[in-house]
Structure 1
Amino acid sequence: MPSLNQHSQESAQIGDSVDVSPVARLIRWFTANGGELSADVEIGFDASSGYHCRATRNLSSPVVAKCPLSLTLSHLNLDHTQSLVPHVESPLAKCIGRIPNNVLTYLLLVEQRLRTGGSVLKWQPYVACLPEPSAMTTPLWFGPEDMQCLAGTNLARETAVKLDRLTEEWNQANEVMESLDINTNVFSFDWFRWAATIISSRAFISTHIIPDKDTFPILFPVVDILNHSPTAKVEWDFHPFQDFTLKILNHGDVRPGDEVYNNYAPKQNDELLLGYGFCVADNPVEQFAIKMRLPPQIEEAARSMKMFEPVNVPFGMDTSFLAVDPNEEPEYLRPKGHPFGRYENRLPFFRAIPPRIVHMFFIQALMNLQIPPGNIQADSVPSRVVLETLLLTYEAIDNRSQTLPLAPKRQASFSNDKQKYATIYRDGQAKILHSIRAELKAVLDALRFHDGVPTRPVIISSTEALTRLSSDFPSRAEHLQSGLASQYGLDFSTWARYSAEIATLETGQQPAELSVWKLVLCLFLISYEHTEAAASPGRQAYSDWIEYLVEQTPLPTTATVDAEALEGFIRGWEQNRDQVERAYTWADEVVDKYAFPVVEEVEGEEVQRICMYLQLGPGDAGNGDWMFKGL
């Protein structure tokens, strides 16, 4: 096997003695050493596209470029025990087996760029056309102002992680080189970072060209010049141990002057920005990466109860996630119309969410509601469990959306390409996240009930409960209202005003509305148990609701509540002390177990209400289908 020096010396004799452009020198070197470039294209350069490929006339063949294995650059060129690619003379060869292969490739590329190690040429015409550090636009090269454009995104954290990992690789490589008496002065971190960026943005994987070795990054000169387009129709034609040909499948559609693109395969903007330094506006394959896990103790308990068995995965979801390590594969929220499709789920409002995440919140819902998993059939989940799963999912998405708010209309220009691409990525991520939040919120809004007597399971606030109490049991409601007015100083002339005001009050460490709910439920239970309830017109829905709550949370045999907490609110509590205390103890447990916050607009303001799920009677109200019918 000849050394790469011989190839380079031959190319130098072809035209380096005259003043030629870097592109001309690259093409001469490439073709003199077995590479092929279509006669119908040229390599150009401009500030926006960098080096790129453009058609000079109609393409007569699908083949744009072919690079032989002998011209590739990787750590393999340092290994003199192999004969697949030409050897390069370098002190870095001593590091084989002691430095990871990808890191060795970085170091070899730096050595070639800075013309060190005793070998000047080799890939010099190719390296001369690689972008300079000042042209790098991946987040690894972002300054503080550029990073502000990534605030709230997953990529902000991923960039820090990648930079830390790269720094660690550089430090470890320097330690090895110093131990082998290799001069490390030229391998600065900036040049190391440059080489890592070149590899991430231009290298291919070795699997298809050298299938009998573990995968490693490998550079194919000239072929890697073509820019990316997600709509380009290309074929990567690898001939193992020989060459790599890039073909344009629709070459007949390419016209003179058109840029000729490669297609790096469907990639989201986070991968494009972090690895390549650019983004695609309105990227059709864009998703939102999400990573959530149950707390270890809860997960361990769930596994002991066989909640991770396929038969216990609810909603008809695909169970393949159970066999995948959640730390290995990222999972994504998918917007409507995504080309990959949404996730299989019997309930449409969960189809944007990865099955693992839905399953996690389902387990958490059972824990919150204190329902033994053995009492639940995965193919017929009670509506209250479905709702709790929905609430937990919405809360997680809503909390995440607060850290990545939708941005106002953007300016037409940016300080640099880094900020432009970062903003494209950031706004695309926010758009996906908030669209899915809006989908889940629409379901909760459709369940929210405000007027009259409900005819199906609904979500109500204390406002609706007090209104119904006033209608069904006016004497009890009147006394409660006077007690609330005295306690909180509220004007009860309109319930809407009450809704806005009660939502802002706090007593101790909890919202005042929680206390109101406990009093209302206490009075509903007492009234239901008395003859007054039987004569009340239109009380069926709320009477059935109390029966449902008693079925879910049986009445205690003894009271544990401090009776003084009821003074001034419930008439006759002294005369019926035991009954009232028992009812309030039950109401206290029910509210702590079942109440949940819902943000809604009241008189033009967004306020957090404490709501309850009203189910019409004991027993299962179905399998959750009612939650989306009619939406």
Structure 2
Amino acid sequence: MGELRSSNDYDELVRWAESQGGYCSPSLIITKSETSGSTAHAKTAIEGPNARLLSCPTSLIIDYDKAAAHIWEDPHACPFLRSPEIAIRLFLCNQRILGRDSPWAAYIKLLPTEFDTPLYYSHDELEMLRGTNVFGEVELRRHAWVEEWKRGVMHLPSKFNKTLFSWELYLWACTVLSSRSFPSSIVFGTSEVDSYPVLVPLVDSLNHKPQVPVYWNATADSFTISSGDSIAAGDEVFNNYGLKGNEELLMGYGFCLENNPFDVVTLKLRHPRMSADKAELVSPEMTESIFHLSESSPLPHELVNFFRIVVANVRETERLLALRTVPGLSQTAGMRCELDALGKLYNAVSMKLRGISVTGVAHPNKRQQSMSVYISRQVKILSQSLLAITRAMYAALHIQPESPDTEDMTFLRTKVYQRLADCGVNLDLVFSSPRFAEFTSAIKEGFDVSSPSDIRAADIEDQILVLFVSHLLISTPAEYSAWADAMHQRYNNARELDEDYVEDFERLFDAYIPPLAELNSTIFGEQKWTPRLMAWAGKVVDSEGVVVENCEDGRPEYWIITAV
């Protein structure tokens, strides 16, 4: 590489820091970077480990006490004791207003004035992120920072010209803090509970590289960064900002990393209305749960268990409550619950994936390159999650002997769909089976339909399923006898079928059974047909069914799981 030369401004930054007790290794050279503000390289080889690179004296670290004392004179008079970052942002604004008169002028003038974080994006650039978590986060963060700015300016002492503290200036200060700060708990060695972001001039000149070994050392007098390994002459010298995925890097710093091992897709799921028992299983004090998908964990156990709880019927909820107290056991509550949970999770992840726009740009600029990396990684993780969910459904159905290790999603989904016929029943199966020809013939004539599609279009699928399950409970074919016995134990009792519930089915019975009996007295004319029987069947349909997507045309189908 060519000879590296530092600019006068960076020389001045080093001289300023060293004049106050700071340190810059003579093997380092800091220069302006077109893509990241500044960059540091090794002029000569740096022998590691633990070679001191940069050090900032405590007197130059921009923290709450300095910011509050500068603006309000007494830190205790600052109204933002519980929000110290607001005081620091206002302090930064004022230092930039002061310009050369600022004691931090050597540092402030080197800070970027424009950023590549999404709050600086144009409308068209932001539209490229539609469907991602970042797209929604931008407006949430903008709103929060605007409200902070209004509060902050309102509480400025009268000696300050408030008109100079514009929103654009405050946004700049917010972004400086998000892109260059260190946690106060690390810089000062204090408790993490009250940690807040602080600025460490000179030390913040190094760019990020994940997993690069570095040492941070805090003393009463300074904060120092040292190398964990030897660094060859000419190589860039990096800091390690921590285990940050591209979403955090893009929002806070304005860049992304290819093949970032810490990338995640965050799923925020609001809690639906739940029974008291279910709420006990999902932290009743919370209104939403947050889960993280990654390449190493595309299907977190906690995420699957959340959906198990959401879809569980009463019996399955009781089982989940019991399993919770037995560590090491599988948390599944049975095939029906597992299929329903995985199916709804598949739909949720699939919907999120479909909402992300993937658009190519012929000659992408830096922002577009970062967005492309971020979006492609999000799409990859979501796709891997869908594959993992499908494999889990494959395993739940005990499909053998084919291996679920294939990445052929179509193969897996087809096998899952085909296997359902051995574990359950749906309208398509009923209408295609010769053994149920008498039942379906009466249904076709009585309801003026010719296929399951007609039934679904008429929005009476649940009612026809109640009639079919009633028929099964009466006729009890040999292959359904074990299932019918289980349904009798679970739902044909006073606890499940109270008078109010049975009464709801009297209208259905009066409307359907007499005319159907006229069409086929063999099936519908038996005395066993009662409102209570249909109520029992209704419980079975409500509690033992799952919605499964037809793998051929994507049509949702309702299956009643009959495997016991």
TM-score by length of 1: 0.72
Q: Does 1:201 align with 2:179?
A: yes
Q: Does 1:597 align with 2:550?
A: no
- What are the Cα deviations for residues 59-85 of structure 1, in whole angstroms up to 9, with x where unaligned? 2452221222122223322566xxxxx
1:97 counterpart residue number: 78
1:480 counterpart residue number: 440
The one-letter code sitting in structure 1 at the alignment partner of 2:171 is: R
- Distance in 2 between the 1:453 and 1:147 partners? 46
The one-letter code sitting in structure 2 at the alignment partner of 1:333 is: H
Q: Does 1:50 align with 2:28?
A: no
Confirm or deny: 8 A CA contact 2:68 2:87 kept in the other structure: no
Q: Which residue, out of 48, 54, 61, partners 1:72?
A: 61
Seen in structure 2, the aligned counterparts of structure 1 residues 260 and 414 have a Cα distance that, compared at 3 Å, is same
Determine helix, strand or coil for the equivalent of 1:208: helix
What is the CA RMSD across the aligned residues, in angstroms? 3.6
- Distance in 2 between the 1:374 and 1:205 partners? 40
Confirm or deny: 8 A CA contact 1:366 1:372 kept in the other structure: no
1:7 counterpart residue number: none
- Distance in 2 between the 1:562 and 1:37 partners? 87
Q: Which residue, out of 158, 161, 168, partners 2:137?
A: 158
1:33 counterpart residue number: 20
2:413 counterpart residue number: none
Q: Which residue, out of 251, 266, 283, partners 1:289?
A: 266
1:518 counterpart residue number: 466
Q: Does 1:258 align with 2:196?
A: no
Q: Does 1:395 align with 2:347?
A: no
Determine helix, strand or coil for the equivalent of 2:291: strand
- What are the Cα deviations for residues 499-524 of structure 1, in whole angstroms up to 9, with x where unaligned? xxx3475355x3x5434433332332
- Distance in 2 between the 1:466 and 1:229 partners? 61
Q: Which residue, out of 476, 487, 490, partners 1:552?
A: 490
Seen in structure 2, the aligned counterparts of structure 1 residues 613 and 42 have a Cα distance that, compared at 3 Å, is same
- Distance in 1 between the 2:68 and 2:535 partners? 77
Determine helix, strand or coil for the equivalent of 2:537: helix
Tell me which moved more, 443-452 or 398-407: 443-452
1:190 counterpart residue number: 168
CA drift of 1:413 comes to 4.8
Structure 1, unpaired ranges of 5+: 1-18, 81-89, 309-320, 343-350, 491-497, 534-538, 617-631
Seen in structure 2, the aligned counterparts of structure 1 residues 432 and 255 have a Cα distance that, compared at 3 Å, is same
2:376 counterpart residue number: 427
Confirm or deny: 8 A CA contact 1:451 1:464 kept in the other structure: no
- Distance in 2 between the 1:551 and 1:300 partners? 24
Determine helix, strand or coil for the equivalent of 1:63: strand
2:426 counterpart residue number: 461
- What are the Cα deviations for residues 39-69 of structure 1, in whole angstroms up to 9, with x where unaligned? 2221122323331111223224522212221
Q: Does 1:332 align with 2:312?
A: no
- Distance in 1 between the 2:311 and 2:468 partners? 25
- Distance in 2 between the 1:121 and 1:377 partners? 63
- What are the Cα deviations for residues 561-611 of structure 1, in whole angstroms up to 9, with x where unaligned? 334424348610698353234544433332133222110223xx2211111
- Distance in 2 between the 1:435 and 1:300 partners? 34
The one-letter code sitting in structure 1 at the alignment partner of 2:108 is: V
Q: Which residue, out of 218, 221, 227, partners 1:248?
A: 227
- Distance in 1 between the 2:430 and 2:309 partners? 30
- What are the Cα deviations for residues 529-580 of structure 1, in whole angstroms up to 9, with x where unaligned? xxxx5xxxxx4x3232222222222187987233442434861069835323
2:111 counterpart residue number: 130
Tell me which moved more, 29-38 or 262-271: 29-38
1:347 counterpart residue number: none
Seen in structure 2, the aligned counterparts of structure 1 residues 274 and 465 have a Cα distance that, compared at 3 Å, is same
The one-letter code sitting in structure 2 at the alignment partner of 1:521 is: V
- Distance in 2 between the 1:107 and 1:575 partners? 79
1:562 counterpart residue number: 509
1:579 counterpart residue number: 528
Identity of aligned pairs, percent? Answer: 22
- Distance in 2 between the 1:206 and 1:462 partners? 63
Confirm or deny: 8 A CA contact 2:30 2:40 kept in the other structure: yes
The one-letter code sitting in structure 2 at the alignment partner of 1:337 is: S
CA drift of 1:419 comes to 3.4
CA drift of 1:389 comes to 5.1
The one-letter code sitting in structure 2 at the alignment partner of 1:197 is: T
- Distance in 2 between the 1:156 and 1:24 partners? 39
Seen in structure 2, the aligned counterparts of structure 1 residues 247 and 390 have a Cα distance that, compared at 3 Å, is farther
Q: Does 1:216 align with 2:196?
A: yes
CA drift of 1:249 comes to 1.0
Determine helix, strand or coil for the equivalent of 2:250: helix
1:230 counterpart residue number: 210
Seen in structure 2, the aligned counterparts of structure 1 residues 278 and 172 have a Cα distance that, compared at 3 Å, is same
Determine helix, strand or coil for the equivalent of 2:224: strand
CA drift of 1:415 comes to 4.9
Determine helix, strand or coil for the equivalent of 1:444: helix
The one-letter code sitting in structure 2 at the alignment partner of 1:154 is: N
- Distance in 2 between the 1:266 and 1:598 partners? 38
- Distance in 2 between the 1:401 and 1:27 partners? 52
Confirm or deny: 8 A CA contact 1:201 1:275 kept in the other structure: yes
CA drift of 1:485 comes to 6.7
- Distance in 2 between the 1:425 and 1:325 partners? 33
| Aligned pairs (5 A) from 1:589-628 | 589-602=539-552, 605-616=553-564
- Distance in 1 between the 2:523 and 2:492 partners? 24
- Distance in 2 between the 1:452 and 1:164 partners? 49
Tell me which moved more, 417-426 or 399-408: 399-408
1:625 counterpart residue number: none
CA drift of 1:265 comes to 0.9
Structure with higher helix content:
2
- Distance in 2 between the 1:479 and 1:300 partners? 40
Seen in structure 2, the aligned counterparts of structure 1 residues 585 and 219 have a Cα distance that, compared at 3 Å, is closer
- What are the Cα deviations for residues 330-366 of structure 1, in whole angstroms up to 9, with x where unaligned? 843334535xxx8xxxxxxxx6142xx5554444344
Confirm or deny: 8 A CA contact 1:206 1:218 kept in the other structure: yes
Confirm or deny: 8 A CA contact 2:439 2:523 kept in the other structure: no
Confirm or deny: 8 A CA contact 1:449 1:459 kept in the other structure: no
- What are the Cα deviations for residues 85-119 of structure 1, in whole angstroms up to 9, with x where unaligned? xxxxx555367422343222112212222226xx7
Q: Which residue, out of 110, 123, 134, partners 2:93?
A: 110
Determine helix, strand or coil for the equivalent of 2:207: coil
Confirm or deny: 8 A CA contact 1:200 1:275 kept in the other structure: yes
- Distance in 1 between the 2:454 and 2:29 partners? 68
Structure 2, unpaired ranges of 5+: 1-5, 398-415
Seen in structure 2, the aligned counterparts of structure 1 residues 49 and 102 have a Cα distance that, compared at 3 Å, is closer
Number of paired residues?
518
Determine helix, strand or coil for the equivalent of 1:579: coil
Tell me which moved more, 590-599 or 552-561: 552-561
1:411 counterpart residue number: 360
Confirm or deny: 8 A CA contact 1:55 1:258 kept in the other structure: yes
- Distance in 2 between the 1:545 and 1:593 partners? 14
